[in-house]
Amino acid sequence: MPTPPTSRDVARLAGVSQATVSYALTGRGTISAATREHVLRVAESIGYRPNLAARSMRTRRSGRLAVVTGATLDHQLRLLAGAGEVAEAAGYVMETHTDDDTVAGRSERVRELAASGQYEGILTLVPVLPGVLSDPARTPADGGTPVVAEATFDEQMRTLGDLADARTVEVLVETLVAAGYRRFVHVAGPEQYASARARRDVYLASVARAAADPATPGVVSLGVLGGSWSGEDARRAVADLPDDAPPVAVVAANDFLAAGVLRGAAERGWSAPRDLVVTGWDNFEMSALMMPSLTTVDVDFPEAGRAAMRRLVAAVRGEPRPGPGAPIHRVVWRESTGGDPTAERR
């Protein structure tokens, strides 16, 4: 079997001292962020894994980070995978704790984890009481285990924060307006979901802005319909549209609703993209296989996890909070809008 790479190999390939490698992996010492990132990239490229047991003996630091989450659904697993990538590249082991208790009960559990001394930092993806969180003005040197909360999921595991950001709806509306569409409909999700409310609100604001623009006269919303995640409700919403609605652009709050829209349209003898164009959200696997394939918004859950873990690692190391990472939402243009409406203009 080949000999595992060592910290000496990392130092040699990175062109730095072993002390610098140690500082990069442990977050200690005075090295620049650029040097730390360079060393971590080299370590990752050769598959170097620090000996956490030996490091703990030397530094009295565990090399372990805890992530507290609720019911582990598919999108959460993808988010955790991204967080794990960043933790591993930074020289830490990430351990996940699933807790379906109340906010108060979960907060007490997080306090226990922080007081146990087993972890150098804790990231919670679900709500806890404010008193559990670390003071951003404090550093690990001040004592205590950093606890960082990301507004990612609520009590019912519904997306919040960056994951619920709906600004990409503006891209959909503006692009379709530029392609010549003047009639719009939104098929909404349930009011109790922050993501559904945000998509509805951005839709209304985007259509209103286009309607007020002298360069795009005649833009109008035919309504906000639906109000559930039921594809059947979306099918019925299309059945209620006036006969003269086409050509119309339908912005659905997720891919299941978009599928219901396409079914309802077919039942009325309408087809996409001839009589209507349809967009969804989430980029489920089925979306690329539909007839027509569905234009939708892809959500990069792994990147959301990476960004959250970068913030925890920075807190553990006493570094400045990282700025915004890569965008986690992007439009995937497919057949339900006739492909990418901007392609001809490029």
Supply the DSSP symbol for 117. Answer: S
Tokens of 199: 């998509």
**Opening angle at CA 296, ends 290 and 301, nearest 5:** 115
The ranges assigned to domains in the chain are 1-59, 62-157+300-326, 161-299
Domain 161-299 in the same topology as domain 62-157+300-326: yes
CA distance 196 to 40: 39
Strands 329-332 and 296-299: antiparallel
CATH superfamily of 62-157+300-326: Response regulator (3.40.50.2300)
**CB 259 within 8 Å of CB 221:** no
What averages of pLDDT result for each successive group of 10 residues across the chain (346 residues)? 76 85 67 80 79 47 84 77 91 86 83 87 85 57 73 59 88 97 97 92 97 96 95 94 96 97 97 97 94 96 91 90 85 95 68
Whole-Å CA distances, 227 to 232, 234, 294? 11, 9, 21
CATH superfamily of 1-59: lambda repressor-like DNA-binding domains (1.10.260.40)
Q: What pLDDT is recorded for position 223?
A: 95
Among 272, 269, 193, smallest CA distance to 226 is for: 193
Give the side-chain half-sphere CA count within 13 A for 304.
Answer: 24
CA distance 183 to 219: 6
Block residue for tokens 């959909």:
172
Block residue for tokens 């998509």:
199
- Fold of the domain spanning 161-299: Rossmann fold (3.40.50)
Q: What pLDDT is recorded for position 219?
A: 97
Tokens of 68: 């507290």
Q: What pLDDT is recorded for position 53?
A: 44
**Helices marked H in the chain — which ranges?**
7-14, 18-26, 33-45, 52-59, 74-89, 103-115, 168-178, 194-211, 231-239, 255-267, 301-317
Q: What pLDDT is recorded for position 342?
A: 78
CA distance 31 to 206: 46
Among 179, 207, 210, smallest CA distance to 343 is for: 179
**Opening angle at CA 24, ends 92 and 110, nearest 5:** 35
Phi, psi of 69, rounded to the nearest 5 degrees: -140, 175
CA distance 310 to 37: 12
CA distance 75 to 252: 20
